[in-house]
Amino acid sequence: MRRKTACVDLFCGAGGLTHGFMLEGLPVVAGIDLDPACRFPYEANNGQARFLQRDIIEVTIDEIKSLFGDADLKILAGCAPCQPFSTYAQRYESDGEEGRWGLLYHFARLAEGVMPDVITMENVPTVEKHKVFHDFKASLEKLGYEVWAEVVDSSRYGVPQMRRRMVLLASRHGSIEMIDATHEKPKTVKQAIGRLRRLSAGEAAPRDKLHVTSTLSETNLERIKVSRPGGTWRDWPKHLVAECHRAESGRTYPGVYGRMEWDKPAPTLTTQCYGFGNGRFGHPEQDRAISLREAAILQSFPRKYAFIPKGGEVSFKVLGRLIGNAVPVDLGRAIARSIDQHLASVAAQ
């Protein structure tokens, strides 16, 4: 008789990890996140999974136990917001255990109280440089979990994007690790978004409100027209180069105002991936930044994944945050497959 499995997804966001689990047949009963904008995409795309708008600091052990119900096998997933651990947010370090740096301590608190069978965590690679991450690992090992943690390349698991992430897997039932890469060759930008409707800057597709692009100023329109795929602002005529880049301090930032390349994976997407000036987010051949839908697809969300209700308003800032912060769905699928294979091997023993 198959044992009943349930997962609770902390910091669930728009549902990237949950959707990956769902596609692999691992049931997710609930997702928890503080951001109210996550509710619609999470619930609209993930079957019976409930969305709870809660601050993780206030979530109790009894609440998590109640969500798991009578499940025989319990999986606790948590992808704490990565901004505190990024190289651009060192100011957060002073927050200590009581601020945003402390979110992993609250994850550990819930893990200790619930003692799920499997725990998984995903974050930026630089989380490994910080004490909170090592404290988190040590707390799980002290509880008797076997812990595996390595930086993985999402493009090796079908995500059409160069997105390196720290993945942690921990089990009470023995050794666990990530499955081998599923893709020898990464998916390319062209394979992912090459067939979508052509758009101009500031235009929206009539049948998909998410396939919409940000406007460009006259100067930025000139800039993207002279930008080549894979190139930088250093290729531009001098009169188009921004003052901040002409300065000595700006010469070390070639990764802005760039176009993607058709035959390579996308660069790492951020919460501002809809803006041409925010990174290498220019379309490979159309004179615009990528659309929100293209960004979602490059995060391996399905083409029809709904982020706003019918008739809902498109906010680049809000949707950019949801998409850029998401766990890529196909990375979620690989994590789910890793857990499923581990649990199957445990059951066979």
Catalytic residues: 82
What is the token pair recorded at 282? 């220019």
b/e per residue 146-176 (b: at least 16 CB within 10 A): ebbbeebbbbbbbbbbebebbbbbbbbbeeb
Closest CA to 119 of 97, 96, 139: 139
C-alpha span between 30 and 9 (Å, rounded)? 6
Query: How many angstroms from the chain centroid is the CA of residue 341?
Result: 23
What is the token pair recorded at 53? 């708008």
**Where is 69: in which H helix or E strand?**
none
Q: What is the dihedral of CA 292, 298, 299, 303, to 10 degrees?
A: 70
What is the token pair recorded at 133? 């991450």
